[in-house]
Amino acid sequence: MVRIPASRTAVPALPPWFVPRDALRRRLDAAGPGRLTAVVAPAGSGKTVLLADWARHGPPTAWAGLDRDDADPDRFWSVVLAAVLATGAVPAGSTLHDLGDGGGGGADLADALLDGLAALPDPIRLVLDDVHVLTGRQAGVRALARLVRHRPAGVRLVLAARAEPPVGLPRLRLEDGLHELRADGLRFSLPDTAALAAASGVTLEPDDVATLHRRTEGWAAGLRLALLALRTEASEPGALLGRFSGDDRSVADYLGGELLAGLDAEDRALLDDLSVCRRLPDALAVTLTGHADIARRLEELAHGLGMVERVDPGEHRLHALLRSHLAADLARRRPERHRGRHAAAARWWADHDEPAHALHHAERAEDPALTAELLGRLAVPLLLRGELAALRRALGTVGPAAVAADPGLALAASLLHLETREPATAAARRRLAVRAWPAAPSPDLVALRAACELLAGVTDGGAPDVEEPADPGLAGLLHLARGTALLAGSPRTVATARAELHRALAPARAGGLVRLEAAVLAELALAALVEGDPGGVSGPGEAARGPAARPAHTARTTALLAWSDLLRGDPRGAADRCAGVLDAPDAPDAPDGLPPADRYALRAVHGAALGDLGRRGAGLAAARAARAELAEAALPAPVAGALALLEHRAALMLGNLRAAGEVATWLAGRAGDTDEGVLMRAGTAAATGRWEAARTEVAPLLRAGRSPATVLVEAGLLEAEAALRAGESDRGRTTLDAVLAAARARDVVRPFALAGPRTRALLLDRAPAPGHGERVAAACAAVTDEPSPPLSERELVVLGLLPSLLDAPTMAEELVVSVNTVKTQIRSIYAKLGVSTRRGAVTRAQERGLLV
């Protein structure tokens, strides 16, 4: 997951001048179950202090202080998760801990997080502060709206914002699902104002309290600013209060003309320099100000000025109102100094492994050359951490001319567009890199180009002549690219691909490159499918769908996991996984929805699962429709083989030889002569009673021992059934024992439920081995329908005439055969379809896909 500083999820400390406001706390507590609480008021209204006090009473409270980068959904959900985990209220066995460690837990982080929250045994409260920073950034608003829409029943959700967030509050208000606290409710009353003055060490007469309250209209920040001024004002309080105004401009004038005027020049200059940063680690403050003793100076200002606070050991912050006023004033008075401090902050964050912060400050420095310089160092780390929004923004800042002139930036832009599934734009950026290619490129630049071309699929194999980059992250990216390219090629290279992927996994984990780690795990799940190993899919597949999962991998990894569920004997789990993505209104992700290959994989596995759950006709129809919709879209050959095998078996179960032949022809056109294609020919021979032909087809598969494990299991089951039918009982038993051993190693269950009746009977006659054997026996025992007998070609011709309502003599005349021949074929059709009427035959044939 994206790393979130602890200060973002810590409940803010209460200031020394804090005044308890019990009435407001009771108003917050009054929200009924399931209602959203919205605290909406302008800046400085006391929202954060009120909620920080409320969080210290009652159930555990998760706190998330948002900033504008949280408009990236990855960061938004990571902040929420970090806040929940920081409460310490999540039980040890909760899946939320797995998400926090980078593991999987659902369809994507949002789903997994919402599911994990729903499963918490005890209620918690979740406060999102500064929600207004997401407004105007559609991705962030959508993520927030999803949390509001699907908030778990046991979680009390509270939003704090300066303006009403566009997340459906009017609808919730109409449905009585909203509990609101607005600016008028947050205003300090007269007694509250008097209490605040006393807590601030200011003694006021009742008339002065009334004036202060009237001038500020109970606005918390205005009250506090006025009281701070009163502490240092030598004249009568009434004189200062007479000059004090509560509107925003007056407060800004007051900050500059009254409060800050009391500082000496050195303190004012120090605050000016610090005002460019929201986060102020003490080491950064030293860089910005040149004062080695900055921590002590800030502590003094915290006590004296009251607008500086320590948020963590070694880190401070300026009050937002003070910081924004100082930064704007510095930009007006000394624009070069303002830009220079941002430039210094950019370099500091770059040196301290915070690329997103670095590029933000480079942008504020209004120095495209600095941004381009930093991007040369930071683009790959941003990609590998998933900080795509920051990278896109920085590339926009430097402009197309700089990208075109720098091959490293052009390659980084190409990788960004590959991540966001924009292949045409990615290819255009690669062409820019080629045009700008230097005569003597550095080894890292060569490696970056190789990785980019391998991931784009324009280079075969593993680029063995590329020198290993010195940078671990770039080396990991290159190994990922090599493994990905090898998996897209021949299935015979899967062992080499797996080795490359494991070489990428180590630097990803060591460097906290969470996006790279998720991508590697997704490819390892694909490698398990290529090997026909459903048991091997689940570990990396689940881990790959954690908080840092690439959008481009989310749906595909779900399809792989669903395939694993199906082959391991859990069709309900497979169907639910697929439906969870296909039916989601915000399914991942891309502007035009799911990628065609991912959609096909999900629908094909879903169709096979429906068939196993008893809806064979609907399942086959879904798989055929999905394949037709795929058209010519790219699909890795191993995935095509695995999915085609599912559809072929579904067609044979319904006796639909035409559909079986259609998908076999499709696979041959896509991938050539594959092991899956050989198995399909053997399956068709067995379905038509040609068992010896089936044995002949599978014999090479069994001898080679290099086929995917699922293919070997199905081939072995065909051989066992053929041997039993030929009276070779010893060979049938020996073959079945070998198949069971191979299937146990890969956790393959489903093919046994679809095996021939004699093989299933033999399985059920023996005592099952614990674990895998018991699941195989249960799957075989659950079989209630045998494969339907296939219709001959002549019967299919007659079947095609049944919907026409022609009588038998007219059919005979049409087909140039005798009436008795037609009647005999009709009776055979009825028997094979298990019906007794013409209408029933038409209906059943349509269900099986024999009639369109």
The rounded distance, in Å, linking the Cα atoms of 257 and 495 is 71
Q: Into how many domains does the chain fold?
A: 5
The rounded distance, in Å, linking the Cα atoms of 777 and 158 is 51
Q: Is residue 134 part of a domain?
A: yes
Q: Kindly indicate the confidence band of residue 236, based on its pLDDT and cuts at 50, 70 and 90.
A: confident
Q: Is residue 582 part of a domain?
A: no
- Verify that 803 and 774 share a domain, yes or no: no
- Which residue type is seen at 501? L
- Verify that 47 and 106 share a domain, yes or no: yes
> Is the pLDDT at 779 greater than 70, yes or no?
yes
86 against 781, higher pLDDT: 86
Q: With the CA atoms of 269, 272, 276 and 280 taken in that order, what torsion angle do they form, in degrees rounded to the nearest 10?
A: 60
- Verify that 60 and 167 share a domain, yes or no: yes
The rounded distance, in Å, linking the Cα atoms of 70 and 518 is 20
Strands (E), 430-523: none
The pLDDT, as a whole number, for residue 94 is: 87
Q: Is residue 310 part of a domain?
A: no
Is 496 exposed, middle or buried, given 0-12, 13-18 or 19+ CB atoms closer than 10 A?
A: middle
Q: Residue for token digits 């609101």? A: 180
- Verify that 684 and 821 share a domain, yes or no: no
Residue where one domain finishes, among candidates 752, 781, 810: 781
The rounded distance, in Å, linking the Cα atoms of 587 and 597 is 14
Domain CATH number, residue 800: 1.10.10.10
| CA dist list (Å): 687 to 131, 511, 786 | 62, 54, 11
Q: Are β-strands 155-161 and 36-40 bridged in parallel, bridged antiparallel, or unpaired?
A: parallel
- Core vs surface per residue 512-537: b (16+ CB within 10 A) or e: bbbbbbbbbbbbbbbbbbbbbbbbbb
pLDDT in tens, 240-264: 676 553 334 555 665 666 556 667 8
The rounded distance, in Å, linking the Cα atoms of 133 and 55 is 22
Q: Is residue 325 part of a domain?
A: no
SS3 530: helix
Provide the token pair at 801.
Answer: 């005439």
Q: Is residue 628 part of a domain?
A: no
- Point out the least confidently predicted range of 64-78, 121-135, 149-163, 815-829: 815-829
Q: Render 389-422 in DSSP notation, one character per residue.
A: HHHHHHHHHHHHHHHHH-HHHHHHHHHHHHHTT-
Mean pLDDT score of the chain, rounded to an integer? 86
- Verify that 69 and 163 share a domain, yes or no: yes
- Verify that 200 and 169 share a domain, yes or no: no
Q: Are 350 and 372 in contact (CB under 8 A)?
A: no
Provide the token pair at 262.
Answer: 């009391």
Q: Are 361 and 349 in contact (CB under 8 A)?
A: yes
- Sequence-distant (≥ 6) Cβ neighbours of residue 93 within 8 angstroms: none
Question: What does the pLDDT average to over 148-155?
Answer: 86
Provide the token pair at 754.
Answer: 């679809």
Give residue 223's domain range. 190-262
Q: Kindly indicate the confidence band of residue 663, based on its pLDDT and cuts at 50, 70 and 90.
A: very high
> Is the pLDDT at 550 greater than 60, yes or no?
no
The torsion angles phi and psi of 311, rounded to 5 degrees, stand at -100, -25
* Rounded (5°) CA angle 97-101-102: 120
| CA dist list (Å): 664 to 567, 592, 679, 706 | 20, 30, 10, 21
- Which residue type is seen at 3? R
Q: Kindly indicate the confidence band of residue 589, based on its pLDDT and cuts at 50, 70 and 90.
A: very low
Q: Of all residues in the chain, what percent carry a pLDDT higher than 70?
A: 91
Provide the token pair at 152.
Answer: 């778990």
Domain CATH number, residue 182: 3.40.50.300
Residues in the chain: 852
Nearest to 408 by CA among 366, 378, 368, 428: 378
- Verify that 56 and 168 share a domain, yes or no: yes
SS3 9: helix
Beta bridge partners of 38: 159, 180
- Verify that 88 and 130 share a domain, yes or no: yes
- Verify that 66 and 128 share a domain, yes or no: yes
Q: Is residue 432 part of a domain?
A: no
- Verify that 813 and 695 share a domain, yes or no: no
- Verify that 59 and 122 share a domain, yes or no: yes
Q: Are 278 and 67 in contact (CB under 8 A)?
A: yes
